[in-house]
Chains A and B, each alone.
Chain A
């Protein structure tokens, strides 16, 4: 193929040394890219803040997002099923529930044999999720509202109050489960990751201090999402909620410090709540756990998009034989609890459900009646009934027997029982109140276990050692061994992963 070389003197297209306009364009473009890339473009890799999340400083500069940060604590408490997890785990650890779940965690909890050294025990600071993540969130609200000026005064006051309340709430449960725990009051991870444990009394005293601060900041009324407008929804902590938790903390402090002045403070805090006309005992036991019942001091609202009203209803109600496949529906009311009810106690028939499969009848907690979503029940956190029992106990310690009897009988009468007719010496009365707490507050946030535990400290005749060890032998009944000698099982082990990550943490003795 011969190429015929033509002479193109005028054609710029094939010129040796000239660019076509198109080629010029491309060269220029390439050059611009170079220039863009390397001359002044340090900004290119500075990406804008993520649009799916907010940078911390921006969160607290605005009423709306600051409120969101605080409300997330309640949403998470609900979705992490804290109330049901606490009721089930601690209920199994005490004498309230019988276990059908073969999983190691459930077995170890049930037989009071939490093995800190064994990798199969996965417990952390809490019964399912980490309680310190709530404390971090609360500290972040306190810190954020203090350092950024964007929120209105009223909003800042209410939210700060709620954050102090939440911090107190979780420290309260942590110290009651684990004994000495780190007291975390800042968001600084560098110092918190090297934090040591704080003695139990000091933790409880900080809980009191936080609740006092909260009490001074919180509204008297329930507020809605604006943090200022009043609502009938009892789903945000109020001054009364702070008082109610204070009453309980004072009672515990009285037992743990052997300092009687705390009982008097418990009395007055509980009295302030009882005197509040907002609250009254529900005449019907069926109404107690309904949303916004007159007895509710603080409830967790059912957040949007849930398949059930409360995790307690879904987790405890049995539709057939107890499950051997997971935690849901894997527990029944223990025979010890079932036999603790006096004849004609309406609570046994109203708050305990049963199902018969074949020849067997299974009993389960039935305070919450809804298995799936109906929209009529909220998760109860603090209620008036407990305040009467707190005051009754405090009054016995103060020597006010009449007052104590009146409070005790309020609760007995509501359950369809006659007035208390037993011996009226303080020891007998305290035993009677402990018993009343057992049948009134069962499977509510582990109340029973903490009662048994503090009864050991205050050297009551009936306490965790006598119930779980000899003569009660509940632990042996459950298939475990109770060590009354060292009492080490009163406390749960500090999470192993934390001990390896924080050189200043120590393990509870016995583990």
Chain B
């Protein structure tokens, strides 16, 4: 606090007049005139007026000691083409007025020597480049090329050097006399220098080269190339250390994202997300309380448009995340949207359309095999084969004659075998001048499903950004806003779970709509298409906006503040008519049910900051102090209507017999932080970065709200040492970096420290009840994460090969858990700090190489690799705790409780396990062993980009080495039971004594069922789920420059994109990517899209 106040005084004092000192001392070498005059002003209180003259561009050398203002100014302005006048305590500066003779002399000279160069500038493909700066070197004399790439510049004489420059291209210098009139200048694209990339670390930005932290950047190109509507899905396998698992292939479904493994045993492992400086809630708004069903959870990131994103930065280590203090424990993901660039107004259009299908089906039994299995099961159990005539109450409808056993339905084809269609249209207008730039983008995206019926997700979005810089370059305003409307009517259940229906199950449609195959007034099956009669709709409206103001108080000292606001709202309607149930459930008017839910999450954030930058000798000092004030409000309402006499009125709550508010939630979260950072670089060689953070969160009890966090980052750019460059001239860049620090985690619910009562939604004697909802524990506090990292960043052969290697170790202590309580306390858990320590270590690498670069052909490769490891380091009191069987000290948190499977007994045909008492069904917890960790051993991606003349090909391959659940796990019923189809792998089941088999005999009875249940809870359910997947492919063709010029277009391309094209795996399930998920879910679809894009 004291430090801040002190700095504020320093910062604000120059704004007020101060007593003058007559004696002035100056010692500046190669300093800007602005800084020298600033120093005089500081010493004397004299102020300066300079009109349009930029004093930062004038360089002076001054050394005076205890002189008067007149002397000091005389020294300063010596040799300058400027003159000054002192009036009281104000100094007016203007350009020297040349004498008449001088003028005349110049004019004659100029007229004799002046020459004009003109022509056209194109890129290597011959496409005209607009906005290229054409400048007479060493002067302010410059023009820009127009839309057709043409320019004309008058230079002082023909010896003048003309410079052509454009960001991302190699600058070319030519003598004026060497430029024939009308000639074409071709600019070569500059090799991408990774170290030059400016990374956004939240409160501040810096060059990758000078960063001591570990930050990965994913560019707009990588995101745009992928046919996804959720931008986080575009990050899959792109970033070392970032693990993303999509819940299913249904449009808009949720993905679990974590950076560098599980840190927390029980609470949030979500990274902290920031969109344009505004925190973005990663917890989904979709709350199904009161909305029935709900296998599918909407991803909150579906409310962002991937095409609006300029870059995504993933902050991983302590150095990078410490500035986020309490929220950085699980890493930080910063999403920055596109901004306008100076230049002529341009329109960018991108249109594409495509299809998606389930890439791979599993092998299930056909009717004949299925019925044979059922017959064998009854024979094994010694049960007479069921017959409707002999035993009409029996529910073995698939074999007893009720269902037509000659039918065969391939349920995979019926339920998930359709083609999804995608349409995506994006357009943006951008432009501006040196002071003001703008961008307006609009998008429309539609995705349907592979399920039968007309379902899908539609998204419309609008994005704009406005940037203004005052003409004195001091005052800067950036305003951005994004608005997305997403309309999702994807059914709220995943039909993939129904593919195990018996292959001889009835036809889905009968003569009057859905067929329930009624027997004695009761449906004999749950028709999987019942959902087509229900209606689920979720509309999301999301606004993210941010205003950033900054003002340069004096050279090097910047005061700024960011003001962010976001509002995310979700409206859900779920209509379930009684007709969606089979008889007799469809008879009650109360079976007609509708649910309406409204849900919002709204927040603001203000982040003022003061930063100071100063060059001290060879060193460069950066100091930053800042703060955060943040509030977040969430509210949820749901209403339920029951007892509609006519299903046709189900969407009208007025027609309900009973209509009531079934749930209401409201909570407020507040957060404040004070941040200080000192960065120091010496000679651009030695780097030091110190960060400190004091945070307060409303989620903790009154005495535990604040936490202190901090980090140290250090780096050494050894390639700048002469000894190194002499010994290894092939080394173009080399940096050694190290960081250590602490961050926190407060990802728990609000108000958990209070003992509270919440109302019932119903009344008793007209009075709404109050229920005890939480036990008070005012003593829990921050979960603390200690991060350690060391790394090498190197460039070889003129940065044609860039390698970055990191090793990290994160240790999380003081674990926040809902500690299970015995139920005699009346509650199941209490929020509690568990003294357990979880460690995540890992090795990460990324390599970027330019393999070939010639004028016609280029080939670049990008590889990333991660090998993570998770370990429970310590857990005092584990044996007596509720986690006693779940975790083992020294092992990963990804292990699972499991019985030790020992194969099928060749004599009995039954599964056997290692048990404490002889044989039989293993018992819990005596016979509990553990599986190896069900997680990745290593993973990564390999991207290759090829260009040949006008063609380009990008191929991205994902690879994962991991263990997952055996697909059998998701079937859950033992082979031989009613209405439960199986994988064809069960065909090798045991049949006679002496036979060696891997599958136990078929059965319907509980004794075999018990062993089957034990089998599904055994280590036999763990299998290798490694895979290599051709994740993304893009092939494009750029239209010839001549066409483009004719149509007044630039960068016009036609492209074909594919995602999840092929997967190489030994895994038998639908999708190895979902192997950590023990349920049957829709796999990621194979998507192919065709599109065009152009810039006008």
Contact = CB atoms under 8 A, between A and B. Distances in A.
B757 A69 contact: yes
Contacts of A360: 392-393
B2 to A, nearest CB: 10
B383 interface: no
Interface stretch (A33-41, A383-391, A404-412): A33-41
B51 interface: yes
B408 interface: no
A17 interface: yes
Interface stretch (A53-61, A256-264, A290-298, A430-438): A53-61
A301 interface: yes
B553 interface: yes
Give me the 7 closest cross-chain CB pairs, A-B, nearest first: A136-B826, A72-B769, A502-B822, A357-B520, A307-B590, A68-B770, A303-B762
Nearest to B92: A9
A233 B824 CA distance: 32
A52 B666 contact: yes
Interface in A91-134: 107, 117-120, 124-125, 130, 132-133
A224 interface: yes
Given A189-B775, A193-B825, A372-B590, A50 B667 contact: yes
B825 A75 contact: no
Contacts of B627: 33-34, 37-38
A71 B924 contact: no
A320 interface: yes
Given A65-B770, A495-B823, A71 B764 contact: yes
B857 interface: no
Contacts of B822: 192-193, 195, 497-498, 501-502, 505
7 contacts: A8-B52, A23-B475, A56-B755, A76-B760, A133-B826, A498-B823, A498-B824
A135 to B, nearest CB: 7
A459 interface: no
A26 B549 contact: yes
B114 interface: no
Contacts of B475: 23, 26
Contact of A117 (B12, B553, B754, B924): B924
A2 B140 contact: yes
A50 B551 CA distance: 39
A49 B522 CA distance: 51
B52 A5 contact: yes
Given A50-B668, A71-B767, A372-B589, 17 more contacts: A6-B52, A16-B472, A33-B629, A37-B608, A46-B702, A47-B750, A52-B758, A67-B767, A68-B770, A76-B769, A132-B823, A193-B825, A195-B822, A225-B766, A301-B765, A305-B640, A357-B522
B767 A8 contact: no
Given A75-B769, A130-B826, A189-B775, A47 B521 contact: no
Given A34-B4, A225-B766, A320-B584, A59 B821 contact: no
B770 A304 contact: no
Nearest to B883: A500
B53 interface: yes
By secondary structure, the A interface counts as: loop
Contacts of A187: 826
Contact of B762 (A41, A184, A306): A306
A63 B662 CA distance: 25
Interface in B20-75: 34, 37, 41, 47-53, 55
B698 A357 contact: no
A431 B416 CA distance: 63
Contacts of B395: 324
A47 B561 contact: no
Given A2-B140, A27-B553, A117-B924, A16 B771 contact: no
Given A16-B49, A107-B1006, A235-B765, A50 B584 contact: no
A1 interface: yes
A159 to B, nearest CB: 12
Nearest to B643: A307
Contacts, number: 325
Between A303, A308, A495, the greatest number of chain B beta carbons within 10 A of the residue's beta carbon is seen for A303
A54 B666 CA distance: 13
Interface in B363-403: 392-393, 395
Nearest to B640: A305
B587 interface: yes
A220 B1 CA distance: 65
Contacts of B764: 71-72, 74-75, 78, 235, 301, 303
Given A45-B705, A225-B765, A19 B924 contact: no
B697 interface: yes
Contacts of A55: 754-757
A41 B48 contact: no
Interface in B62-102: 92-95
B1013 interface: yes
Interface string B937-971: 00000000000000000000000000000000000
Contacts of B628: 37
A1 B152 CA distance: 10
Interface in B558-609: 559-561, 583-584, 587-590, 606, 608
Contacts of A140: 772
A173 B826 CA distance: 16
Nearest to B830: A189
A117 B584 contact: no
A359 interface: yes
Interface in A306-354: 306-308, 319-321, 324
Interface of B: 1, 4-5, 8, 12, 15, 34, 37, 41, 47-53, 55, 92-95, 140-143, 392-393, 395, 471-472, 474-475, 519-522, 549, 551, 553, 559-561, 583-584, 587-590, 606, 608, 610, 627-629, 640, 642-643, 657-658, 660, 664-672, 674, 696-698, 702, 705, 750-751, 754-773, 775-776, 820-827, 830, 880-882, 884-885, 923-926, 1006, 1013, 1017
Interface string A135-175: 11100100000000000000000000000000000000000
B768 A45 contact: no
Nearest to A49: B754
Between A11, A15, A64, A125, the greatest number of chain B beta carbons within 10 A of the residue's beta carbon is seen for A15
A118 B53 CA distance: 85
A52 B762 contact: no
A16 B824 contact: no
Contacts of A422: none
A30 interface: yes
Contact of A27 (B15, B140, B471, B643): B15
A3 interface: yes
A279 interface: no
Interface in A351-395: 357-360, 371-373
B388 to A, nearest CB: 10
A47 B670 contact: yes
B1037 to A, nearest CB: 37
Contacts of A5: 51-53, 94-95
Nearest to A496: B924
Given A27-B559, A53-B758, A501 B882 contact: yes
B561 A182 contact: no
B750 A184 contact: no
Given A30-B560, A301-B764, A189 B821 contact: yes
A17 B522 contact: no
A54 B776 CA distance: 13
A67 to B, nearest CB: 6
A501 B775 CA distance: 17
Nearest to B143: A1
Nearest to B758: A53
Contacts of A118: 923-924
Nearest to A236: B765
A31 interface: yes
Contact of A45 (B606, B672, B760): B672
A170 B797 CA distance: 80
Nearest to B756: A53
Contacts of A31: 8, 12, 559
